[in-house]
């Protein structure tokens, strides 16, 4: 590659950034690798130039033979044009005229060039080779200098979930002085089998995200760009919240709009997609310097507003705290209660790490709604009536309908003191707090990180005291018996049981229905039959990677009936969400009620063993 660029007279000048895309013909394929030229709509036998507002983009092919073909996008940046037009009021204007990395570092300049030069390929269109445009091809992408303030781990976390094998090499701050250490620039190589259109869309979105800056003014249409470019992959990306915040330069109004639109695709709550910055407690490897964003992006602040997640003071009701001390304190599970091998604090959002014993520690994937992805990312449910018009008001998401169904069930049984078991990041807790009928609310989760996020999202530190003291957050494993959970009117397990290994369900049943024994229990779980209505969910695949099982209506009925008979409850089964005439509703709900009536709620029974 260097010899080829030297032949073009391009070596020794640092005012160029480079992207190479290499396609290798698979063994036995009946097409040559040079068909990459058809997909990119750029002839391998010619050097082509395209004028940009800040310089010139060149497309050349350093190698082009039937077995292997490489296309190179070389971007010559004119530093004068780059600086011209920038506001003198921006903090980096003075120094940026003389020292900046924009001419050589793969940034939003390269992203814009990809969108302009490879526009048709980015849209997945190719009249000459339409079958190749739809096919996953063996691709390798190389970028010699990528600014990445999150380091190699950030590059891995944004590209690896998309199917790329990621290789990074840190670049030294100055090769002449190795003792100075590494810079925040990486040599990045991506390898994988991918549609070319998908590969280009990944670069278009993620290069400015890794950089954390853009060279142009931010406007409201940036949200549309992000949604369009991320179609088919962004909604299901585990770092989608972080990606949206960085792409939109932490402009909170734009971020919330983008995440709300992604939530519509994913049937999740916008806050659960990260519309508000997560509490990281030193764990988040994707943290960055906000000031770098503030100085690199023009036309937008980086302030954050969380006012919409606060609880109004007028919702406060009776406390029901009964002198338990600070209600918002996060209480850890006593070490004496933990069995060896249990995982009490997993910072990831995915895993169960059960002990070898029957009673195990369960973490509910931080319930992105709640975390079970009831609408698989990018999928849309089949409309059984076919009457949904484009102008109609969109129905509430499944996550919203599920919480409403749970609240309705709690209201029917007259529950006032409620346990949210596997509360995750607090989506249901927020709605319980907003209803003064619930005088005492306890959220339980095995993950301390999830509990800290719930505390922040609920804004407990700014909540009126009479509201805040209605809530307690406890760390605990749902399959351990816990005396702190006895004597409550109702318990909720919303999208929880499917995260438990089937052999461990007996331990969960004993802990909830025998030891805690609330007056009522509300359980929701996905309906496996309805998965066929999700167009992009492969047959036999669960809605969330962390699900251990998903039950049909008959299987859920059998389990719920058995639990009720064994433990002195009666049970009612209900559908949640729009029902398909053959597949049923997307979520199924069971309302268990003790046959001997709810237990008394006085001090003498709470905490009894």
Laid out side by side, the sheet with 330-331 consists of 330-331, 471-475, 440-445, 417-421, 490-494, 520-526, 587-594, 569-576
Domain 2-211 adopts which CATH fold?
c-terminal autoproteolytic domain of nucleoporin nup98 (3.30.1610)
Nearest Cα to Cα of residue 328 among 480, 415, 454: 454
pLDDT tops 80 at residue 462: yes
CA diameter of the chain: 88
CA quadruple 511, 514, 515, 517: dihedral sign: positive
Mean pLDDT over each residue of the chain, to the nearest integer: 74
Kindly tell me the number of DSSP H helices and DSSP E strands found in the chain.
19, 15
- CATH fold match for the domains 2-211 and 330-380+396-594: no
Most confident of 327-341, 476-490, 514-528, 590-604: 514-528
Q: What is the pLDDT of residues 380-416, one digit of tens each?
A: 444 433 443 444 456 788 899 999 999 999 999 999 9
Q: Could you tell me how many residues make up the chain?
A: 609
Closest CA to 81 of 56, 104, 114: 56
Which class is domain 330-380+396-594?
A: alpha beta
pLDDT range class, residue 607, cuts 50, 70, 90: very low
pLDDT at 268: 52
Per-residue pLDDT reduced to its tens digit, 227-236: 888 888 988 8
Q: For the chain, what are the domain ranges?
A: 2-211, 221-296, 330-380+396-594
The candidate with the shortest Cα–Cα distance to 186, out of 147, 213, 159, is 147
- Report the phi/psi class of residue 193: left, alpha or beta, with left for phi > 0 and alpha for psi in -120 to 50: beta
pLDDT in tens, 300-316: 333 333 333 333 333 33
pTM for the full predicted model? 0.45
- The pLDDT value recorded for residue 343 is 29
> Whose structure tokens read 């190699």?
152
What region, left, alpha or beta, does residue 569 occupy, with left being phi > 0 and alpha being psi -120 to 50 degrees? beta
Q: Given this model, what pLDDT does residue 210 score?
A: 87
H or E element that contains 137: strand 137-147
The tens digit of pLDDT for each residue in 45-93 reads: 889 998 877 778 899 999 999 999 999 998 887 666 555 554 444 444 3
- Give the gyration radius of the chain's Cα atoms: 27
What is the band of 269 on the pLDDT scale with cuts at 50, 70, 90?
A: low
What pLDDT is recorded for position 476?
86
Strand ranges of the sheet holding 137-147, from the earlier edge strand across to the other edge: 48-52, 55-64, 68-77, 16-24, 137-147, 182-194, 165-172
Give residue 591's pLDDT: 97
Q: Answer for the pair 518, 599: CB distance below 8 angstroms, yes or no.
A: yes
pLDDT at 533 over 70: yes
């Amino acid at each position: 590659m260097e010899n080829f660029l030297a032949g073009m007279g391009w070596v020794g000048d640092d005012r160029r950034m480079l992207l190479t895309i290499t396609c290798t013909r698979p063994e036995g394929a009946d097409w040559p690798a040079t068909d990459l030229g058809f997909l990119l709509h750029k002839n391998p036998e010619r050097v082509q130039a395209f004028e940009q507002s800040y310089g010139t983009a060149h497309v050349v092919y350093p190698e082009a033979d039937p077995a292997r073909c490489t296309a190179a996008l070389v971007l010559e940046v004119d530093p004068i044009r780059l600086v011209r037009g920038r506001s003198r009021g921006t903090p980096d204007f003075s120094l940026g005229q003389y020292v900046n990395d924009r001419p050589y570092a793969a940034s939003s300049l390269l992203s814009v060039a990809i969108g302009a030069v490879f526009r048709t390929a980015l849209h997945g269109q190719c009249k000459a080779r339409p079958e190749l445009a739809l096919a996953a091809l063996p691709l390798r992408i190389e970028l010699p200098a990528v600014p990445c303030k999150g380091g190699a781990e950030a590059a891995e976390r944004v590209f690896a979930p998309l199917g790329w094998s990621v290789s990074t090499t840190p670049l030294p701050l100055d090769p002449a002085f190795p003792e100075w250490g590494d810079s925040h620039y990486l040599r990045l190589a991506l390898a994988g089998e991918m549609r070319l259109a998908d590969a280009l869309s990944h670069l278009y979105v993620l290069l400015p995200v890794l950089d954390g800056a853009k060279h142009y003014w931010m406007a409201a249409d940036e949200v549309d760009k992000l949604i369009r470019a991320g179609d088919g992959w962004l909604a299901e990306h585990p770092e989608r919240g972080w990606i949206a915040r960085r792409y939109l330069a932490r402009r909170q109004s734009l971020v919330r709009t983008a995440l709300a639109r992604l939530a519509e695709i994913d049937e999740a709550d916008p806050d659960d997609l990260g519309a508000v910055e997560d509490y990281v407690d030193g764990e988040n490897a994707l943290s960055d310097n906000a000031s770098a964003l503030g100085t690199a992006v023009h036309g937008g602040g980086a302030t954050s507003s969380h006012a919409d997640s606060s609880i109004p003071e007028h919702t406060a009701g009776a406390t029901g705290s009964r002198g338990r001390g600070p209600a918002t304190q996060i209480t850890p599970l006593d070490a004496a209660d933990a069995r060896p091998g249990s995982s009490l604090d997993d910072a990831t959002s995915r895993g169960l790490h059960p002990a070898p014993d029957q009673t195990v520690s369960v973490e509910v994937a931080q319930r992105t709604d709640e975390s079970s992805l009831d609408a698989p990312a990018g999928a849309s449910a089949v409309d059984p009536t076919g009457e949904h018009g484009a102008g109609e008001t969109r129905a509430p998401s499944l996550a919203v309908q599920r919480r409403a169904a749970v609240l309705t069930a709690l209201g029917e049984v007259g529950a006032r003191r409620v346990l949210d078991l596997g509360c995750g990041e607090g989506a249901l807790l927020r709605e319980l707090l907003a209803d003064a009928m619930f005088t005492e609310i306890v959220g339980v989760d095995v993950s301390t990180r999830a509990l800290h996020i719930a505390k922040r999202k609920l804004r407990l530190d700014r909540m009126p005291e009479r509201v805040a003291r209605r809530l307690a957050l406890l760390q605990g494993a749902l399959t351990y018996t816990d005396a702190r959970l006895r004597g409550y009117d109702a318990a909720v397990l919303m999208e929880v049981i499917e995260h438990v290994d089937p052999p461990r369900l007996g331990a969960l049943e004993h802990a909830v229905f025998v030891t805690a024994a609330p007056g009522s229990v509300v359980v929701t779980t996905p309906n496996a039959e309805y998965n066929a209505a999700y167009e992009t969910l492969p047959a036999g695949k669960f809605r969330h990677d962390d699900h251990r099982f998903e039950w049909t209506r008959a299987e859920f009925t059998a389990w719920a009936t058995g639990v009720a008979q064994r433990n002195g409850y009666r049970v009612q089964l209900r559908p949640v969400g729009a029902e398909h005439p053959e597949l049923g509703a997307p979520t199924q709900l069971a309302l268990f009620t003790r046959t001997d009536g709810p237990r008394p709620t006085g001090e003498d029974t709470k905490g009894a063993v």
